[in-house]
Amino acid sequence: MSEFRYIGRKRRTKEDPRFVSGRGRYVADVALPGMKHVALVASPHASARIVSIDAKPALAMPGVLAVVAGEEFCAATDSLAIGVDAPKVTRWALARGVVRYAGEWVAAVVADTRALAEDAAELVEVEYEPLPPVIEAEKALAPGAPLVHPAHGSNVLYRRKFIWGPVEEAFAKCAHRIAFRATWGRSATVPIETFGVAAQWDPGTGILDIWASIQMPKYPDQAARALRLPGNAVRVHYDVDVGGSYGVKRGIKHTVLVGYLARKLCVPVRFLEDRLENMRGGDMQGPDRFFDMQVAFDGDGVIHAMKIRAVDDVGAYAGRSPFQLGKPVSAICGPYAIPAIEYEPTSVMTNKTPQEAVRGFGQSPTNFAIERAIDRVARHLGMDRVELRRKNLIRRDRFPYTIPSGSTYDSGDYHAVLDKALAAAGYPALVAARDEARKAGRLAGIGVSTCLEPSGGNSAFEVLFNPKNETTTWMESCLVRIDLSGAITGVINNSSSGQGHESLVSTVLGEILERDPATIRVVRADSLTALPSNSPVGSRMAIMLGGAAVGAARQIRETLLAIAAHNFECSAEDLEYKDGNVSLKGAPEKKLTWDQLVEIAHRKFHKLPPRTEPGLQAKFVWEVPTGGGLPTPEGRIQIYPCYAFEAHIVYVEIDPDTGKPEIGKYVCGHDCGVMINPDIVHGMTFGGIAHGIGAALYEKFSYTEDGQLASGTFMDYLIPSAMEVPAMKIVDHCTPSPLTTFGQKGSGEAGYLGAPAAIANAVNDALEPLGTSIDALPMTHLAIWTAITRSRKGSEHSVVPAKAGTQKS
């Protein structure tokens, strides 16, 4: 790390001071003069025909400006874009004719205040004719199932069977095979800030201004298209702080609705979801997936092939969600040297809330299924789980390593990271502690997971899953300006939701220009002044925004060297750049300082080299390294450039009387290459683990049989607090990426990608003496208690409470 001046060192972030003093500026803090407010009328049925809507009593209320329903809205705007090729699966913010899930928006009321809008929304009379809903994926796949979108002709949104390598041969030859189903429950990131958007239409300029709590690629473009406006008529303000997102803040339907209302009424309009709207009608639930797993392996534990059938329930509409089955193609064999894979992703529609992107974009569920498979193989063979992993992990001398599905892993040292994590966890002592606990009759288990975090946010699963989509670039940009005073400003082109992009860019610019990052300001363009960006998704900003900032800063450096060379009448190779000053090699007194160079650039055209633009600024637009390719006919493609690795070790004890698991120790070995700001990387990793604890043990969007969301509040959708999340230890390792400037990889989704798998493995290790196992998340207290209770029937085995170990149960 010592080769860097600022990178990798402890630095306070640029962003934290404004947040701790209550000076963040979130969308709810944007107050536009004369602003009106929206409340929604939501469907109480999971599936129904809308017979009639009577808005007259609502419109008669003082302070109510408008009530808009689907007939008007859908005629005036276009359907939202969807990722896969399914043109009949149309989607608008307001339902037209039918509703397809409970909570779907049927009408929008605009009034002087939110309270009045809610009062009026209660007066909107909607008559429904209920239809039979289909709530479970397997039932939706069955012949004769009710169709969520009859015009589409099927509830299957996307299905393809990929075969990469000699899968059947391996299954025929191998001495051992296992098959099981792993189920990932429907949860999401559920940020503490709900989604919100404010819009203002200026008929004079013909510009629709938008402020939103957004984290979404191509957001301005999609909003403009749906509103039938040219792209340059929509101006998204990126200087809005986003109160958490982790993937889900893609309120495109909210935006088109509010944009339409603001334009129609010629007044500023704002909509802020309340918590139920966020969890039910906000379309921000995550993957809801089961995996039928088959593994073929030798008696010595070497895995030769895997078959994965993944069925994902995306809810009632498509959006971008089917692609969450696509990202895992980029790491479909995990960190293991498995030469043959069959993968059958199936995306199914049901009458539930639509799915949105969640941290890791489908990779964490897949990692969970693979890691359950690894543990089951070990259990089948009676082998140690760590040894089995060591045997199958890709060895460090095999990088760059191309996996069967066509992506090449850039670098890694998986064995070293696993060993470090085991050492930090005190693994032998931990095993001894578990065995002691078991001897005392307690339920204790150790969980291990070794997982990948594909990073760099290429979107090549789009071309893989949709041949009509030829998006092969996923660029990111940065503009760097040096003003006449010599101060540096970096301009970025997206909003942030806690990832520390201002700290990232200032650190990178400081490193290249050799100027103190504390003096560097980072600001955000709006979408009409912005350079191309694809927003902070897919763990990409350290790589892509960092790379773009490097490119721009290097141009500034080269310009400064060229100016000095011109004035010293020498070649740039004879010069030395240090701290922003340029001097002649071997003659340090022959020097032009930063201030002098900046002044020449801004004021002294006569001292500038020929063909040099006056002023001092540079832009750089970077394409994703390794990006640009199209898939082969077998569906092989390079998707992500960089692969971070994590090894989790967890110790759990379970209270047999309540099924409550308690995490006694948590260690995560993590290798994301060179860290630009270790506090930020560690923070996101801790947060990812906490989120993974939620997905593994607590969080679920549960539905009743008739399709009502049964967990629409924080009293039944359980987010882990500081009491459920233990103290954690992260052990860093650094295998630089050869594809990035400083060797960095992405880490925005770290922790979450391996935590659910490790916790599931720990719970199952604890249950192993009872001869039972659980392969469905979340492993709620009830689910664990049920497994314990069932296993006790017919067995004499008894266990005692986890903590005290004194009371026989």
Partner 1 sequence: MSEKLHPVTIEVNGVRREAQVPARLSLVDFLRDELRLTGTHVGCEHGICGACSVMLDGEPVRSCLMYTVQADGHKLTTVEGLVQADGSLSVLQDSFCETHGLQCGYCTSGMLIAAQALLNANPDPSEAQIREAIGGNLCRCTGYQQIVEAVRLAAERMK
Question: Least separation, in Å, of the C-beta of 474 and partner 1?
Answer: 24
CA 421/CA 668 separation, integer angstroms: 6
- Per the CB < 8 A criterion, the answer to whether 48 and 247 are in contact is no
**Residues 6 or more apart from 287 whose CB is under 8 A from it?**
184, 186, 312, 324, 355, 358, 362, 365
Pick from 84, 624, 647, 690 the residue near partner 1 by CB under 8 A: 690
Judged by beta carbon, residue 176 or residue 275, the one nearer partner 1 is 275
Cβ atoms within 10 Å, residue 213: 27
Pick from 723, 794, 796, 804 the residue near partner 1 by CB under 8 A: 723
Judged by beta carbon, residue 104 or residue 699, the one nearer partner 1 is 699
664 near partner 1, rule: CB under 8 A? no
419 near partner 1, rule: CB under 8 A? no
CA 477/CA 150 separation, integer angstroms: 42
Question: Least separation, in Å, of the C-beta of 502 and partner 1?
Answer: 12
46 near partner 1, rule: CB under 8 A? no
Question: Least separation, in Å, of the C-beta of 132 and partner 1?
Answer: 32
**Residues 6 or more apart from 530 whose CB is under 8 A from it?**
238, 477, 493, 494
Pick from 57, 166, 244, 629 the residue near partner 1 by CB under 8 A: 244
701 near partner 1, rule: CB under 8 A? no
- Per the CB < 8 A criterion, the answer to whether 536 and 494 are in contact is yes
CA nearest neighbour of 190 among 748, 759, 685, 719: 719
- Per the CB < 8 A criterion, the answer to whether 743 and 737 are in contact is yes
Question: Least separation, in Å, of the C-beta of 195 and partner 1?
Answer: 12
641 near partner 1, rule: CB under 8 A? no
Which string of x and - marks every residue 121-160 that binds partner 1 (by CB under 8 A)? ----------------------------------------
- Per the CB < 8 A criterion, the answer to whether 224 and 210 are in contact is no
Judged by beta carbon, residue 727 or residue 804, the one nearer partner 1 is 727
CA nearest neighbour of 261 among 110, 443, 139: 110
Binding segment for partner 1 (CB under 8 A), chosen from 26-34, 523-531, 594-602, 772-780, is 26-34
Query: Can the peptide bond before residue 625 be classed as cis, meaning omega within 30 degrees of 0?
Result: no
679 near partner 1, rule: CB under 8 A? yes
- The structure tokens 């120790």 sit at 665
- Per the CB < 8 A criterion, the answer to whether 326 and 398 are in contact is no
Pick from 1, 51, 60, 115 the residue near partner 1 by CB under 8 A: 115
Binding segment for partner 1 (CB under 8 A), chosen from 220-228, 238-246, 295-303, 631-639, is 238-246
- The structure tokens 């693994």 sit at 427
Q: How many residues bind partner 1 (CB under 8 A)?
A: 64
Pick from 2, 52, 571, 721 the residue near partner 1 by CB under 8 A: 721
Pick from 1, 54, 87, 113 the residue near partner 1 by CB under 8 A: 113
63 near partner 1, rule: CB under 8 A? yes
Q: What is the residue type of 551?
A: G
440 near partner 1, rule: CB under 8 A? no
8 near partner 1, rule: CB under 8 A? no
96 near partner 1, rule: CB under 8 A? no
Q: Within 192-211, which residues bind partner 1 (CB under 8 A)? A: 192-194
Binding segment for partner 1 (CB under 8 A), chosen from 113-121, 162-170, 433-441, 656-664, is 113-121
Pick from 2, 33, 34, 62 the residue near partner 1 by CB under 8 A: 62
Cβ atoms within 10 Å, residue 595: 13
CA 291/CA 310 separation, integer angstroms: 4
Question: Least separation, in Å, of the C-beta of 451 and partner 1?
Answer: 17
Question: Least separation, in Å, of the C-beta of 63 and partner 1?
Answer: 7
CA 217/CA 496 separation, integer angstroms: 12
Assign 670 to helix, strand or coil: strand
714 near partner 1, rule: CB under 8 A? yes
The pair of structure tokens assigned to 581 is 């000053």
Judged by beta carbon, residue 424 or residue 719, the one nearer partner 1 is 719
The pair of structure tokens assigned to 489 is 């400003």
Binding segment for partner 1 (CB under 8 A), chosen from 436-444, 565-573, 725-733, 739-747, is 725-733
453 near partner 1, rule: CB under 8 A? no
Question: Least separation, in Å, of the C-beta of 159 and partner 1?
Answer: 33
Question: Least separation, in Å, of the C-beta of 685 and partner 1?
Answer: 8
- Per the CB < 8 A criterion, the answer to whether 111 and 105 are in contact is no
Pick from 454, 500, 631, 669 the residue near partner 1 by CB under 8 A: 500
The strand pairing partners of 492, in sequence order, are 524
Beta strands (DSSP E) in 616-743 are: 617-622, 642-655, 660-671, 729-733
Binding segment for partner 1 (CB under 8 A), chosen from 170-178, 396-404, 617-625, 689-697, is 689-697
747 near partner 1, rule: CB under 8 A? no
24 near partner 1, rule: CB under 8 A? yes
Assign 553 to helix, strand or coil: helix
34 near partner 1, rule: CB under 8 A? no
Pick from 722, 793, 804, 806 the residue near partner 1 by CB under 8 A: 722
CA 200/CA 255 separation, integer angstroms: 11
What is the crossing angle of helices 427-439 and 414-425, to 10°?
50
The pair of structure tokens assigned to 629 is 């390719």
Sign of the torsion angle spanned by Cα atoms 777, 216, 742, 335: positive
Torsion, Cα 16 20 22 25, to 10 degrees, reads 20
Q: What is the residue type of 175?
A: A
Judged by beta carbon, residue 59 or residue 725, the one nearer partner 1 is 725
Assign 696 to helix, strand or coil: helix
Binding segment for partner 1 (CB under 8 A), chosen from 11-19, 567-575, 587-595, 617-625, is 11-19
CA 54/CA 540 separation, integer angstroms: 48
CA 24/CA 17 separation, integer angstroms: 9
Judged by beta carbon, residue 411 or residue 455, the one nearer partner 1 is 455
Binding footprint of partner 1 on the chain (CB under 8 A): 12-13, 15-26, 28-29, 31, 62-63, 112-113, 115-116, 189-194, 241-246, 272, 274-275, 497-500, 679-680, 682-684, 686-691, 713-715, 719, 721-723, 725, 727-728, 751
